Amino acid sequence: MDEARADGSASGGQPVPEYVPGHGLLAGKTVVVTAAAGAGIGSAVARRCLEESARAVVLGDIHGRRLAEAREELSRRYGADRVAAVVCDVTDEAQVGELLDAAEPFGGTDVLINNAGLGGTRSVLEMTDEEWSRVLDTTLTGTFRCVRAAGNRMVRAGRRGVIVNNASVVGWRAQEGQAHYAAAKAGVMALTRCAAMDLAEHGIRVNAVSPSLAMHPFLAKVTSEDLLDELKAREAFGRAAEPWEVANVMVFLASDYSSYMTGEVVSVSGQHP
């Protein structure tokens, strides 16, 4: 898949490996993905799920135009009968419900991938209550809303579903100007572990990935080149991950290959000290 591949060697790092073909890991499953428009991890995992033979993928995103473009592109490539899209702001519980409603014509949600998050850079000395709350409400509380809503539906349906959350290595490792985002992602990790225990009796698994640096156009737009170079230098391969490399691990956690894993936070990182 040409558009999914980039050459990491251009920045002095190891080259990006060849894109991995699908192996039917999600055959027959309906997957809901939040923040699935654009060119980041959400978009990559939506594509990856379709390539892994998911029955259908329901895309959610706050950006209506980008969402429509994502649906059109995926429908053209994988079939319009396998792709649905709903504008969804995860800070709005009603919209979360509408997103999950869109999975019902496909048999209901088998897999929920919580990718929605909001970041920013600000010293704690200058951070306002509004900036703090906005990041926490989207990144942590938004994930909680989706876990609660999907979990309840899975329990009512007697479905042994799977929830995969997107955390971050900054939930473990300090980074300047990231107090709000780091606190939110650390919260996602704790939420993942506790929700896994609450849902285990129903046969529902909850895990998370914790990426370090995944390169996509939006990140390049909001991050200085100097900082990106510094972050890449911390990686063992000397490059950022491609979004699809993170998506591959999400798909593994969503699949039956990880059937005995729950409450785990899997680092998708090549960082070194």
Report d(CA 261, CA 98) in Å as an integer.
29
Calculate the CA 271 to chain-centre distance. 20
Sequence-separated (6 or more) residues with CB below 8 Å from residue 35? 42, 60, 61, 62, 90, 115, 116, 117
Distance, in Å, from the CA atom of 252 to the CA atom of 110, rounded to the nearest integer, reads 14
Give how far the C-alpha of residue 234 lies from the chain's centroid of Cα atoms, to the nearest Å.
22
What's the sign of the alpha-carbon dihedral 105, 106, 112, 115?
A: negative
Q: What is the torsional sign of CA 222, 35, 259, 150? A: positive
19 is catalytic: no
Residue 12: exposed, middle, or buried by beta-carbon count in 10 A (0-12, 13-18, 19+)?
exposed
Q: Which residue type sits at 92?
A: D
Contact between 74 and 86 under an 8 Å Cβ cutoff? The reply is no
Which one from 19, 181, 257, 260 is the annotated catalytic residue?
181
CB 271 within 8 A of CB 169: yes
Find, among 267, 221, 226, the residue nearest to 245 by Cα.
267
Residues 6+ apart with CB under 8 A from 46: 31, 33, 36, 57, 59, 70, 74
Indicate which residues carry an active-site annotation: 181
